[in-house]
A and B are shown apart, each in its own frame.
Chain A
Amino acid sequence: SQQGEEDPQALSIQEGENATMNCSYKTSINNLQWYRQNSGRGLVHLILIRSNEREKHSGRLRVTLDTSKKSSSLLITASRAADTASYFCATVIQGAQKLVFGQGTRLTINP
C-alpha cells in the first residue's frame, strides 16, 4: 500500500515558472525524501529532510516538512525543460527498512 499521496498527479507549466508539488503521509517518519524519475527509468535522489527539520534548500529546490500535518512540499524554482519528469516523495517509516513511495507527480515543462 502507498504511504504517501502526491498532489497534483500531473502538472504542466511554462519554462521559467515555479512548480510546487505536495506530499501527504500517514505514519510517523524518520525522514522524507524526494526523487525524480525520467521516462520510466531509475530514480534519482534529490533531497532528504529529517523529521526535526522544517525547511531545506538545494540549488533550485526547496522542501518543507510539516510533521503536525504529515505533509511536505517540493518547490522547483525557475523551471527548465530538463525538469520534465515524475517526482516522488518517499518516507522511511520508523523501525522499518524500506522506502515507501507515493504515486508521484508528473511534471511537464513547456518551452
Chain B
Amino acid sequence: ETGVTQSPTHLIKTRGQQVTLRCSSQSGHNTVSWYQQALGQGPQFIFQYYREEENGRGNFPPRFSGLQFPNYSSELNVNALELDDSALYLCASPPPQRGSSTDTQYFGPGTRLTVL
C-alpha cells in the first residue's frame, strides 16, 4: 500500500473533450509527479509540482496542465483530447519514511483514459 490514490479508475472521453484526473497522497510530501504510460511502453514524465508550483516538465504540450493543493492532492488536466492521449496516467510522490531517498517514488494505481 503506497498511500497514493487516484480517481477515477477508468475514463472514456471523445476527441476534443477536456478531462481532469485526481491524485491524493497520504505521505504529506510536498512533491507530486505525473506520468503517462502508453500501452506496452514505460512511463513518460509529464511534470512535477513542488509546493503548488510546477517544478519541471517533460516533452508534453501546454494542453497538459496541473494543479497541486495545500492538502497534498493534485490534478492533471488535459484539454482538446487527442486519440494518442489514450494511456494510463500515474501520479507519484516520495515515500514518507525519514531517510528514504526522495528519488524513490510511490505510485498510485493509475487512471486508464480512453479517447474515442
Contacts and interface: CB of A to CB of B under 8 A. Distances in A.
Interface residues of B, number: 31
B103 A100 contact: no
B78 to A, nearest CB: 19
26 contacts: A2-B42, A30-B103, A33-B103, A40-B88, A41-B109, A42-B107, A42-B110, A43-B43, A43-B92, A43-B105, A43-B107, A44-B2, A45-B104, A45-B107, A88-B43, A96-B56, A97-B48, A98-B33, A98-B56, A98-B58, A99-B33, A99-B35, A99-B43, A99-B92, A99-B105, A101-B44
Interface in B89-116: 90, 92, 95, 101, 103-110, 112
Contacts, number: 70
A102 B40 CA distance: 11
A43 B35 CA distance: 11
Contacts of B43: 43, 88, 99, 101
A92 interface: yes
A11 interface: no
B101 A31 contact: yes
A64 interface: no
Contacts of A33: 103-104
Contacts of A30: 103
Interface of B: 2, 4, 33, 35, 37, 39-45, 48, 55-56, 58-59, 88, 90, 92, 95, 101, 103-110, 112
Q: Classify chain A: how many residues form its interface, as a range.
A: 20 to 34
Given A35-B107, A103-B41, 16 more contacts: A40-B37, A42-B2, A42-B107, A43-B105, A44-B107, A45-B95, A88-B43, A96-B56, A97-B55, A98-B48, A99-B33, A99-B43, A99-B45, A99-B92, A99-B103, A101-B44
Contacts of B4: 42
A11 to B, nearest CB: 15
Nearest to B109: A42
A14 B27 CA distance: 38
